[in-house]
Chains A and B, each alone.
Chain A
Amino acid sequence: MSKEHKDIDDIIERYPGRPEYLIFLLQDIQAAYNYISPEAMALVCDHTGVPLTQAYAVATFYKSFSLEPKGEHEIKICQGTACHLKGSVRLVENLSRELSVRPGGTTQDLKFTLETVNCLGACALAPVAVIDDKYYAKVTARKLDTVIKKIAKE
């Protein structure tokens, strides 16, 4: 399992205590815990010597960091140009309605997070969706609905 909980100190010890490793650390923590908790942030700052304010500036600047827990399954809908031309906006709107979340949000049962991404570079598959790192090519609202219902049942 990729999202297993690892002891946060183990992650911190992976890198030397220098400011340039801030982003590396945040990425590893995000990958392990799905979000960056205030406690984790404080530990990272202690280790790298980066002021807390600056670390939050970094964590909120980059899209891949989340300060709130994310859902168990991550649905990414590509919004690249090729996908846009092939109707990806409608896919997001429909999913938003089905799951009752805004893009970027997480469902109340913490099951799904709906994300939009700029381009996955898989334009021949447009419109493309990625659910838990599996690519779904040429998706329609109907296809997505079936996949999500199946995952929800698991």
Chain B
Amino acid sequence: MAQTNKSKQEVWPTESLFMSPEMLKAYREHLLAEKDPNRPWIIVCHGTGCMANGSVEVAAALRASIKEAGRNISVIPDIKTTGCHGFCSRGPLVILQPSGIFYQRVQPGDCKEIVQTTLIENKPVERLLYKDPKTDEPIIHHEDIPFYKNQLRVVMHNIGKIDPTDIRDTIMAGGYEALAKALYQMKPREVVEWVLKSGLRGRGGAGFPTGQKWLSAIQAVERKGGPVYIVANGDEGDPGAFMDRTLMEGDPHAVLEGLIIGAYAIGAHQGYIYVREEYPLARKHLSIAMEQARKHGLLGTNILGSGFDFDIQIVRGAGAFVCGEETALIHSIEGKAGEATPKYVFPAESGLWEKPTIINNIETFCNIPLIINKGPEWYAGLGVPNSTGTKVFSLVGKVNNIGLVEIPMGMPLGDLVENIGGGVPGRKRFKAVQTGGPSGGCLPYELRDTPVDFDSLSKAGSMMGSGGMIVMDEGDCVVDVARYFISFLMDESCGKCLPCRLGLKSMYQILDRFSRGEGSVSDIDDLYSLAKAVQDGSLCALGGTAPNPILTTLKHFRSEYEAHILDKKCPAGVCKALITYWIDQEACTGCGLCARNCPQNCISGERKKAHQINEALCIRCGMCLDSCNFAAVKVV
């Protein structure tokens, strides 16, 4: 923007470089003063989930309806599009502020009514409110909904409140204040000390203390010289996990701020953010954020006038799960195939181009500004000893409230599923929860009191992983789930070491036979010993943790394995070779829909009379089950 003849206090050019913390503070105060305190704003969630459900159209319809209503509205509200609110199963979400009225599953057609009833008449639109499934009572305000009430949103405090593509929102919310504090009031070593004292452990899976990792890179540089690199690992490959995606999309400046503070602490001048290929929106928001930060002097040379130089490059993954592993990720950034190498020497000693390299997870970096702002003692007070702070989980599968949640470490597993997740749809209780992604473990209902923290989960045979929580009910077969995870890991194994390459394949073959009802009880023992061998002999964590789903399901659900082998039955009704489809003659109305959809033409029956399936021809594709509107198709 060109300078006008007004003085600088009145007009702040958007490109202004902040050469000191005072300038950042002054800009923030200026923005806050400029904001009309009486102007309401409407938040329309623009996370991937809500966008797929049409939130872009909802925002457009809201704008149009407001324009149409014109002078009938006393103050025209601001429409804000934000990152993911976490309550993805209820999207598209619309929240009116400052009143906090929360509307769910809003469609473009509802916008007129929202404008008329809420903005003009000041009343909530009943039918769009969230209803508590237990009491059926409508809940008006966002903060009263159990899904939100039982969470502790610290890392995600800005997400869903700020527009991630506008740095002014971040600055108004106090963004980059921790960076200013670190650069001007703390020595690099002090930053490391604070992170050590906070007890922060890496959020990517292994839970290594972050401060200790940083310290070892500093020591490596002292021994053999620099440069040192810093990498944010956003290669979130675990199926059923989207914490990092939400953080990168919803609060990209927090990722940058954490990364810059980390770079200052270890003395790095070049950083990388490795983002998974499947996350285009995350890359877009990070690129926008980086450009804005550079314009304001928050990234690049002479950050905030402190003399510290640091810049970041975004590296796009190319579709390989193993690249989330540190050594494979390093190879990928170097432009090579992402194969893991043994960690005789840690990347903190010798990583990118054989220089000391620090790799931390996206969520780990998002915790750093909080520690600097509020102090390590405050941070260590959250959670439980040895697992401090909060953790973001993606709660998915057979649970009512699918979405992203943040809780203090140590909350019992059952509380997470029941209180925040709202229990299992249509059933009394869950059957098991898979924590820690595909190489985590399957914890049964009986272990519902297990506290969710690093050590307790490991003790139970599972792991924290990156934070995927997959809830299963009686309709999910553990043999099928174990087979699914092993097949995933078998495909993703880089193939470098034998235990992982062949061990996973053999385990898959055994599980595949089980799912067809073949095999004997001695195969179960073979599977167990094979799993143990892969666990001990693999080169990297992918193979080392891959047998976890087998070991935990064998421990807690052995009877289900035996049912497949001995009774030739899949109790959950999943394994194709062991199930039969049939039509409930009472419930069938004879509409003929299933017969028309059957690719085998094996359903017959007169119109308006109950139909039958010819079992001999049935290929168990499930088309009839999907198409039936009367729930008359059953599986045994």
Give the interface centre of B239, B485, B597, B627 by most chain A CB atoms within 10 Å: B239
Quick one: which of B402-416 are within 8 Å of A by CB?
Answer: 402-403
Is A124's CB under 8 angstroms from B337's CB? no
CB distance from A76 to the nearest CB of B (A): 9
Flag whether A42 is at the interface (Cβ < 8 A).
Answer: no
The segment from A6-14, A67-75, A105-113, A135-143 found at the interface with B is: A135-143
Is B332's CB under 8 angstroms from A23's CB? yes
Is A123's CB under 8 angstroms from B240's CB? yes
Is B49's CB under 8 angstroms from A20's CB? no
Give which listed residue, B334, B438, B476, B623, contacts A141 with CB less than 8 A. Answer: B623
A24 to B623, CA, bound (A): 42
Is A121's CB under 8 angstroms from B279's CB? yes
Flag whether B89 is at the interface (Cβ < 8 A).
Answer: yes
Flag whether B472 is at the interface (Cβ < 8 A).
Answer: yes
Quick one: which of B286-337 are within 8 Å of A by CB?
Answer: 316, 318-321, 332-337
With a cutoff of 8 Å between Cβ atoms, the chain B residues found around residue A26 in the complex are 318
With a cutoff of 8 Å between Cβ atoms, the chain B residues found around residue A62 in the complex are 318-320, 337-338
Binary contact track B322-366/A, C-beta < 8 Å → 1, others 0: 000000000011111111000000000000000000000000000
* A–B complex contacts, Cβ < 8 Å, 6 sampled: A22-B336, A24-B335, A93-B621, A118-B239, A121-B48, A135-B48
Nearest B-chain residue to A81, judged by Cβ: B240
Flag whether A119 is at the interface (Cβ < 8 A).
Answer: yes
**Given the contacts A85-B470, A124-B88, A97 and B52 also touching, CB distance less than 8 Å:** no
Is A58's CB under 8 angstroms from B335's CB? yes
Nearest B-chain residue to A140, judged by Cβ: B626
Is B52's CB under 8 angstroms from A135's CB? yes
Quick one: which of A75-132 are within 8 Å of B by CB?
Answer: 79-82, 84-85, 87, 90, 93-94, 97, 117-126, 128
A16 to B397, CA, bound (A): 45
Quick one: which of B4-32 are within 8 Å of A by CB?
Answer: none
A142 to B240, CA, bound (A): 24
With a cutoff of 8 Å between Cβ atoms, the chain B residues found around residue A52 in the complex are none
CB distance from A125 to the nearest CB of B (A): 6
Flag whether B484 is at the interface (Cβ < 8 A).
Answer: yes
With a cutoff of 8 Å between Cβ atoms, the chain A residues found around residue B338 in the complex are 61-62
A22 to B318, CA, bound (A): 12
A142 to B627, CA, bound (A): 7
Flag whether B610 is at the interface (Cβ < 8 A).
Answer: no
With a cutoff of 8 Å between Cβ atoms, the chain B residues found around residue A136 in the complex are 52
Q: How many A-B residue contacts, CB cutoff 8 Å?
A: 150
Which residues on A are within 8 Å of B, measured CB to CB?
Answer: 19-24, 26-27, 48, 50, 54, 57-58, 61-65, 79-82, 84-85, 87, 90, 93-94, 97, 117-126, 128, 135-137, 140-142
Is A122's CB under 8 angstroms from B438's CB? no
Give which listed residue, A58, A81, A90, contacts B468 with CB less than 8 A. Answer: A81
Is A58's CB under 8 angstroms from B484's CB? no
Give which listed residue, B52, B316, B336, contacts A27 with CB less than 8 A. Answer: B316
Flag whether B242 is at the interface (Cβ < 8 A).
Answer: yes
With a cutoff of 8 Å between Cβ atoms, the chain B residues found around residue A24 in the complex are 316, 335
**Given the contacts A84-B484, A85-B476, A142-B597, A122 and B49 also touching, CB distance less than 8 Å:** yes
Is B402's CB under 8 angstroms from A123's CB? yes
Binary contact track B455-491/A, C-beta < 8 Å → 1, others 0: 0000000000000101010001000010011001000
With a cutoff of 8 Å between Cβ atoms, the chain B residues found around residue A142 in the complex are 597, 623, 626-627
Is B626's CB under 8 angstroms from A118's CB? no
Is B238's CB under 8 angstroms from A119's CB? yes
Flag whether B161 is at the interface (Cβ < 8 A).
Answer: no
Nearest A-chain residue to B353, judged by Cβ: A20
Flag whether B599 is at the interface (Cβ < 8 A).
Answer: yes
A60 to B553, CA, bound (A): 34
With a cutoff of 8 Å between Cβ atoms, the chain A residues found around residue B485 in the complex are 81
Is A118's CB under 8 angstroms from B397's CB? no
A90 to B291, CA, bound (A): 44
CB distance from A144 to the nearest CB of B (A): 10
Flag whether B388 is at the interface (Cβ < 8 A).
Answer: no
Quick one: which of B609-629 are within 8 Å of A by CB?
Answer: 621-623, 626-627
A54-B336, A61-B339, A122-B242 are known contacts; what are 17 more A-B pairs with Cβ within 8 Å? A19-B335, A19-B336, A20-B334, A23-B316, A24-B316, A62-B318, A81-B484, A84-B239, A85-B470, A90-B621, A119-B237, A123-B397, A124-B88, A124-B396, A140-B626, A140-B627, A141-B621
Nearest B-chain residue to A54, judged by Cβ: B336
Flag whether B82 is at the interface (Cβ < 8 A).
Answer: no
**Given the contacts A64-B277, A94-B599, A125 and B49 also touching, CB distance less than 8 Å:** yes
CB distance from B436 to the nearest CB of A (A): 12
CB distance from A112 to the nearest CB of B (A): 18
Quick one: which of B218-267 are within 8 Å of A by CB?
Answer: 236-242, 245
Nearest B-chain residue to A128, judged by Cβ: B52
Binary contact track B267-292/A, C-beta < 8 Å → 1, others 0: 00000000001110000000000000
CB distance from A35 to the nearest CB of B (A): 14
A82 to B623, CA, bound (A): 20
CB distance from B105 to the nearest CB of A (A): 12
